[in-house]
Amino acid sequence: MVERAPESPSAADEPPAGSPTAAAAGGGGGTGAAAGLAAPGEQAPGPAAPPGTEPGPSGQARSLWSDAWHDLRRNPVFVVSALLILFLVLISVWPGLIATRNPLSCQLNKSLDPASPGHWFGYDTQGCDVYTRVVYGARTSVTVGVCATLGVAVAGSVLGGLAGFFGGWWDALLSRVTDVFFGIPIMLGGLVFLSMTGSRSVWTVIAFIVLLGWPQIARIARGSVISAKQNDYVQAARALGAGNARMLVRHILPNAVAPVIVTATIALGTYIALEATLSYLGVGLQPPTVSWGADISDASQGMQFRNAPHILLYPAAALSLTVLAFIMLGDAVRDALDPKLR
């Protein structure tokens, strides 16, 4: 350990103070191929230093985002969940790719029939093909889930984050407003708000969810921005003359985003379920629209699923899988953005 690694650029031997020699030494180390191979015992000595997993000094400057992407591509959890989500998106756009029947053409005489060749998931109460309905339901459910989550996350983090960063009257106002929204029972709000609108589309439902959902994220974003803001590195950036935008984007955002990602991905599942509950109460989407939520609530009526569990099982499984995929994705992204976990 005493001997110096021979290929190290040996800063110690060079006169310091930005002289050209020192610079040349640094540059030389960067291009020298041998320097890339971390010799045993050459890694950073700090107790926290992991074994020489570093790709070594490459000429490339790396950043959090490029490192995160580098990590994500190698993370099986990310790959699996991303593929699953890609698949969901594909069948939402083109359900015909894997389902050939019409989800609305049903035969009542086949009500609750079990699985049969060509109809692997069986029939529901109305005699519709469960498989086809699960495939076509993806569009509504995924749209509601993803768009509502995105809307909530963006609105919530921007409003909450700015309130946390700037403080003052804007923060006080926002806090009171979120308190008011927290006081509104979501079901009651749904009944009032959605029954006032005449024709309800997927977008009406999404708008309603964003309207009532953003305070939750805003509160979390505000808290994590406040705690990130207090770190000395934000002060350090300010002392360097950094403006608010830089402090927010470079220093606060990456350090405050993790709890927002976690809450948002978990909320995604509840939003899909919320759409179902609203439909069940008659203020959500109207019958011709196919959605997992609607099918789940239909199936849970009158205990029919006791005799024919498949009518509940398949849409519920699709919903769970979707939620799981997003939670896994959120987890993977959060971990990739934390250099300590590398």
Partner 1 sequence: MQSDSLDGTARPQDGEGLGVLPEKEPPAPHAPREAILEVRDLVRHFPLTQGVVVKRQVGAVKAVDGVSFDLRRGETLGLVGESGCGKSTVAKLVTSLETPTAGSILYKGEDVTRLSGRALKAVRRNIQMVFQDPYTSLNPRMTVGDIVGEPFDIHPEAAPRGERRRRVQELLDVVGLNPEYVNRYPHQFSGGQRQRIGIARGLALRPEVIVADEPVSALDVSVQAQVVNLMERLQDEFGLSYVFIAHDLSVVRHISDRVGVMYLGKIVEIGTEREIYEHPTHPYTQALLSAVPVPDPSAGERRTRIVLEGDVPSPANPPSGCRFRTRCWRAADRCAQEEPVLQVPAVLRHAEGPAHHPSACHYAEEKERIVPG
Partner 2 sequence: MTQTQTQPVPPSPSGPERLLEVRDLHVEFRTREGVAKAVNGVSLDVAEGETLAVLGESGSGKSVTAQAVMGILDTPPGRVTGGRILFEGRDLLALREEERRSVRGARMAMIFQDALSALNPVLSVGYQLGEMFRVHRGSSRKEARERAVELMERVRIPAARTRVDDYPHQFSGGMRQRIMIAMALALEPRLIIADEPTTALDVTVQAQVMELLADLQREFRMGLILITHDLGVVADVADEIVVMYAGRVVESAPVRELYRAPAHPYTKGLLDSIPRLDQKGQQLDAVKGLPPSLLRIPPGCGFHPRCPVARPLCHADEPPLYEVGRGRASACHFWEELLDAE
Q: Which is nearer to partner 1, 61 or 180 (CB)?
A: 61
- Half-sphere exposure in the Cβ direction for 108 (13 Å, CA): 0
The encoded tokens of residue 98 equal 């894997």
Q: Are 267 and 152 in contact (CB under 8 A)?
A: yes
Contact 271, 147 (CB under 8 A): no
- For residue 188, the minimal CB distance to partner 2 (Å) is 36
Q: What 3-state class would DSSP assign to 123? A: strand
Q: Which is nearer to partner 1, 11 or 83 (CB)?
A: 11
Nearer to partner 1, 15 or 76 (CB): 15
**Token pair 């470079």: residue:** 250
Dihedral (Cα; 49, 53, 56, 60), 10-degree rounding: -100
User: What residue 17 binds from partner 2, partner 1, none (CB within 5 to 8 A, per partner kind)?
Assistant: partner 1
The residue ranges that bind partner 1 (CB under 8 A) are 1-2, 4-5, 8-18, 22-23, 25-27, 29-30, 35, 41-42, 44-50, 54-58, 61-64, 67, 172, 231-233, 235-242, 246, 250-251, 254-255, 337-340, 342
Structure tokens at 278: 């609203």
Residue 16 within binding range of partner 2, rule CB under 8 A? no
Amino acid present at 105? S
Of 189 and 254, which CB lies nearer to partner 1 in the complex structure?
A: 254
The listed partner (partner 2, partner 1, none) that binds 67, CB under 5 to 8 Å by sort, is: partner 1
- Ordered alpha helix ranges (H), 281-340: 292-300, 310-336
Answer yes or no: are the C-beta atoms of 334 and 328 closer than 8 Å.
no
Q: Among residues 47, 76, 198, 243, which is the contact residue for partner 2, using CB under 8 A?
A: 47
Q: Near partner 2 by CB under 8 A, which window of 48-56, 58-66, 142-150, 265-273?
A: 48-56
Q: Which residues bind partner 2 (CB under 8 A)?
A: 1-2, 45-47, 49-51
